[in-house]
Amino acid sequence: MDENILRKIIQNYETPTYIFDISILKERIEYLRTALPEKVKFCYAIKANPFLVKELEEVVDRFEVCSPGEYQICRKRKIDIKKILISGVYKTPELIMDMVKDDEIENFTIESMQQFQLLKYINRKLKVLIRITSGNQFGINSEEAEEIIKNRSQYENLDIIGIQYFSGTQKKSIKNLEKELTYVQELINKFKNEYDFETRELEFGPGFPVSYFQNEEFDEEIFFKEFSELINQMEFKGQIILEFGRSMVASCGSYITKVVDKKVNKGQNYAILDGGIHQLVYYGQSMAMKIPMCEIYPKRENVNEKWNLCGSLCTINDILVKQFPAGNLQIGDILIFKNTGAYCMTEGIALFLSRDLPSVLKIKENGEIELLRDNLPTYKFNY
């Protein structure tokens, strides 16, 4: 992060805080557009970072919205209804009715047979994607999808435009992605050959990975090249929409937290931070053993001394990093955890210990800092 901006943030806002840098976000999307085939469209799964929806509206083609709360966020941020696809488990009939009234939302996935029952009785035209399960609680079996497709003439209000398939997250194996694309292609062929059903759209969640820890070796350029070849070689020539979460937004985020106390207990250095594991969750960070991408401010030349970076929850588990090479760490020093723009800020146990929720800042493209959310007391939820 630019040092002047960081200094301004530290002077004007309390730590801990989440920071999202919009220039980095826009550059990342430009990179993704060039690294992936031109013909694919982009869908953003807003669960990855709901704070960024408005910034992304112009640069993505679709938003995947999975909960009543996410739907409300889109409404508050006045997101174009046509860009919203309602997906994910558990929607009440009342919620679906609310979404479709006044000809609002028109794009849905068929996530379960129960949801299909709800959608087929809606008294207006809907565009639907059948979500095929990848072997978990999401989507439906291919046999159930076949039944729906076979009988599609009975569901006059449903325009079945294609299928959705979500592979998983942090998927580093091109071989596995290839297997899944082959599986999807076989289904598309079967629907065509046996039921004369033309799949017009394939929405595919590849779960592109993000490197969070030091010494993780992953060549993203080669990975995207190989993935693009798979897409280009597909027999399916309809519209492909790729779903993105972490790979799109992780890099624009930083979480800053301050050293508020320090001690040496039985020969081990412990720094107590004003943040902690309730506010920062890294995928794959087991027992704080891996070292995330993190910088110290002010910068250190000599980082020989190692510190256990502990948060301010009264639990022995609240360790963000063990044996972090930090040099002579001082009270008041700032730690900047990077690549925290996806999930890190929402997946934590935020209510534990009733500590405040951190503020959220945005760095605009012109370098201005905007407060998106002030820090919020959580004790109110806990009595």
Question: Please, how many CA atoms are within 13 Å of residue 156, restricted to the half-sphere of its CB?
Answer: 2
- Taking the least distance from each CB to ligand PLP, the nearer of 134 and 378 is 134
> Which tokens is 95 given?
């919620």
Minimal distance, residue 250 CB to ligand PLP, in Å: 8
Min. distance of Cβ 90 from ligand PLP in angstroms? Answer: 13
By the 10 Å C-beta count (0-12 exposed, 13-18 middle, 19+ buried), 123 is classed as exposed
- Smaller CB separation from ligand PLP, 67 or 169: 169
Q: Which two tokens stand for residue 104?
A: 């609002």
Residue whose CB is less far from ligand PLP, 243 or 333: 243
Give whichever of 6 and 60 is closer to ligand PLP, judged by the CB atom: 60
Q: How far is the CB of 204 from ligand PLP (least distance, A)?
A: 9
| Full DSSP string of 309-342 | EE-SSSSTT-EEEEEEE-SS--TT-EEEEES-SS
In whole angstroms, the minimum distance from the beta carbon of 112 to ligand PLP comes to 14
Q: Which of 37, 44, 45, 61 is nearest to 236 (CA)?
A: 37
CB of 137 to ligand PLP, least distance (A): 11
Contacts (Cβ under 8 Å, ≥6 apart) of 296 = 303, 326, 327, 329, 333, 334, 335, 336
Judge whether 1 and 294 are in contact, CB under 8 Å: no
Minimum distance from CB of 87 to ligand PLP (Å)? 6
Whose Cβ is closer to ligand PLP: residue 245's or residue 292's? 245
Pick 46 or 296: Cβ nearer ligand PLP:
46
Instruction: Kindly state the smallest distance separating residue 126's Cβ from ligand PLP, in Å.
Output: 18
Q: Where are the alpha helices (DSSP H) in the chain?
A: 3-12, 22-35, 53-56, 68-76, 93-100, 113-120, 142-150, 174-195, 220-233, 246-249
Distance CA 126, CA 122 (A): 8
Cα–Cα distance measured from residue 372 to residue 360, given in angstroms and rounded to the nearest whole number? 5
Using CB under 6 A, list all residues that contact ligand PLP.
45, 47-48, 64, 87, 166, 169, 205, 207-208, 243-247
Q: Which is nearer to ligand PLP, 106 or 243 (CB)?
A: 243
SS3 content of the chain, % helix, strand, coil (to 5): 35, 25, 40
Of 48 and 161, which has the nearer Cβ to ligand PLP?
48
Least separation in angstroms between CB 32 and ligand PLP: 11
Amino acid identity, residue 133?
T
Q: Which residue is nearest to ligand PLP (CB)?
A: 245
